[in-house]
Amino acid sequence: MASNSSGSASPTAGTFTTLSGAIELPDLVVASFHASTEGTAGGQITINAAIRNDGPANAGIFTAGFYLSPDAVIDAGDINTGYVCNFESGLEAGALETCSGLIGIPSPLAPGTYVLGVIVDDGGSVSESSESNNTRGSDSGPLTIVVGTGVSLDVPAGGAAVTSMAGSSGETRAGYAAVKVSSGSTPYGTAVFSFTQNGIVVSEAGVPASPPTTSARVFIEFRRGAPVLPGRPDSGAVNVNTGIAVVNNGTTAALITYTLRDMSGGTLTEGHGTLAAGKHFACFIDQLKERAAPDFELPPDFASAVQFGSLEISGDRPVSVLALRGTTNQRNEFLITTTPVADLTANPGASSRSFPHFVDGGGYTTSLALLNTSQGVEKGMLQLLDDDGAPLSVTLSDGTTGSSFRYLIPSGGAFRLQTDGSPEETRTGWARLRPDLYNKAPAGSGVFGFSPAGTLVSESGIPAADSTTHARIYVDLSQGHDTGLAIANASAVPAEITLQAFEADGTTAAGGSQGLLRLPGSGHGARFAGKFIDGLPEGFTGVLDIRSASPFAALTLRSLVNGRGDFLMTTFPVADAESDAPSPVVFPQIADGGGYITEFIMISAGEAADTTVYFYDEDGAAFDSTATR
């Protein structure tokens, strides 16, 4: 019988010589191998392996070792768990014996998905007729390794679940989060950063989950002394920078190339770095050389002359990427805004896309940025439409006036449109992105800012959205928040849209509908939840179900009036019931302490889900922070 230990066996071999003089040898194989599929670094998992001798000769003393591999190829170069089964009596020809027990998972160990494998005769002590069949990965499937205990979140079918970090009083600590889905459909996930400065909440930003990719591109804006109202130097100055956070949530190191391009797609500089398994870093573009890529040389005149461009992040292993725009306003307050990440491995498609909300005037400005993610030139039209579906004329920062703007973006290039905010009255609508025939659609992002009395108090990102006919959004009326919905009719014919509110359980109706929302062809509507649904209780949190027979594009806007009376905004993506949620759910940046709190919102657009949110520090170790529901 086999015994378990962490020792090794002395070399022995069994052979049998036939009457003809031929030497027959044993042949050790792993007949079956079952093991736990979930584990924690430093914890234990169960294993059960059946070892059989398929050869005609007896096998002498041998051992079986257990290894963690990042891929399906099991060999002695993988991570040795230190667990050994000793077959001290060898194994007779045709015999089968089992080895079972508890394996200790090494620590520290990067979280992620591994293949737990067994190598029989891993010391090479037995001469066999075949040495190529001594390994086997677990028949039970991959082993998911997590760090720490995590926070369990049960997401009801069609409902929502929320958890938040504690927001410690010490210095700011950064890391990342990953969500494990044990059963059900992957939910839509959003992380919300809240930053308090001098006792006042000055900024909130919602960031969608970022599945790993081998190639991504983000829009870069890095300016110093930029006017608050574009084209108006007398409006005051702000500093703008773009930061990235990158996580290697895999089990092997990633070699990453960072390529900075100008608006025409020309390469300005390139840098290289290695990100170890389970590691994370976050920095602004002018800190990339110090934090991640020693050979990355940012042009010294970028902030003063170039100001805009794109950063491509490509690796030999998938990594998750997040981008944030940081603006320091006239009061020296730091405002954070999400910047969407374009996955260059995805097919960009040729369909029209929408920016479901566009606002200009009355203290508001909007900028839109388009990124070419294909190998050829991308051409098309960017159309601005008002609430009635009519052209919405705006004045851009360069003095150009119009409602439709042609774009022609070379490969690797970008296009930017910026309103000057000159109208006294606020005007709202939406933007439609229409590629020319046979052209791919660029990736899009936008930012609208609010500057009452000339002081920038809030900025919020606007992701480009695909159309759907059924979606759900998270509604939050708690702790001074309100939630609005911006919705654009993507069809040229009138649309009737049904809206119904539910408790967070996704099934208990809340409030009463004010009837159908009717939008004209190519029309737009933007209202807070109380204007769509009557009788929502104070402090309500839940979901709003949105349905229509014709396609629409939607955006969630959560507002907060802070302790100083400033109106803050952050946008959330919707949960599209017609599309699968991005998976796996990884949030490449979390922040806790020093004024920061990170909140996590999970929305189901279909089936219920049993999930656990795990928090990691920059080194992939458990993030020591209490999370509260």
Give one DSSP letter per residue of 237-263, joined into a string: EEEEEEEEEEE--SSS-EEEEEEEE-T
This prediction's pTM: 0.86
pLDDT at 3: 59
Name the token pair of 153.
């979140």
Q: Which two tokens stand for residue 546?
A: 């949105």
Q: Which of 116, 118, 101, 129 is nearest to 28 (CA)?
A: 129
pLDDT at position 542, please? 96
Other Cβ atoms within 10 Å of 479 Cβ, number: 9
CA 9 to chain centre: 47
Q: Mean pLDDT of successive 10-residue segments in the chain (629 residues)?
A: 46 46 86 92 91 94 94 92 93 94 87 92 92 94 85 94 84 90 93 91 91 96 88 81 94 94 97 94 97 97 96 96 94 90 88 93 95 94 97 95 97 95 94 94 93 90 92 95 95 95 95 89 94 92 96 94 90 91 93 92 93 90 67
- Which residues, at least 6 apart from 312, have a Cβ–Cβ distance to it below 8 Å? 215, 216, 217, 257, 258, 259, 261, 344, 412
Say how far residue 595 (Cα) sits from the centre of its chain.
23
Write the CA distances from 624 to 97, 168, 574, 618, integer angstroms: 44, 10, 31, 12
Identify the bridge partners of residue 122 per DSSP, sorted by sequence position: none
| Short-list 226, 212, 291, 302, CA closest to 260 | 302
Q: In whole angstroms, what is the distance from residue 420 CA to residue 621 CA? A: 46
Q: Which amino acid is at 372?
A: N
User: What are the structural domains, with CATH classification, of the chain?
Assistant: 3-146 (2.60.40.10)
From residue 94, alpha-carbon distances to 25, 131, 444 in Å are 12, 17, 64
Q: What integer pLDDT is reported at residue 255 of this predicted model? A: 97
Taking a C-beta distance cutoff of 8 angstroms, is the pair 401, 395 a contact? yes
Structure tokens, 169: 């009083």
β pairing state of 280-284 and 353-360: unpaired
Cα–Cα distance, 9 to 64 (Å, whole number):
10
pLDDT value of position 11:
34
C-alpha to C-alpha distance for 552 and 536, rounded to whole angstroms: 25
Is the CB of residue 584 less than 8 Å from the CB of residue 147?
Answer: no
DSSP SS3 for 9:
coil
pLDDT of residue 361: 94
Sign of CA dihedral 587, 588, 589, 590: positive
Task: Give 234's DSSP letter.
Answer: G
Tally Cβ neighbours within 10 Å of residue 204.
Answer: 24
End-to-end alpha carbon distance in the chain: 50
Residue at token pair 């290289």? 272
**Residue 202 corresponds to which amino acid?**
V
DSSP 3-state percent helix, strand, coil across the chain (nearest 5): 5, 55, 40
CA distance 204 to 559: 9
The vertex-259 CA angle with 204 and 269, nearest 5°, equals 115
pLDDT of residue 6: 42
Answer for the pair 236, 243: CB distance below 8 angstroms, yes or no: no
CB atoms within 10 A of CB 116: 29
Q: Are 264 and 415 in contact (CB under 8 A)?
A: no
In the three-class reduction of DSSP (H, G, I as helix; E, B as strand; rest coil), residue 392 is classed as coil
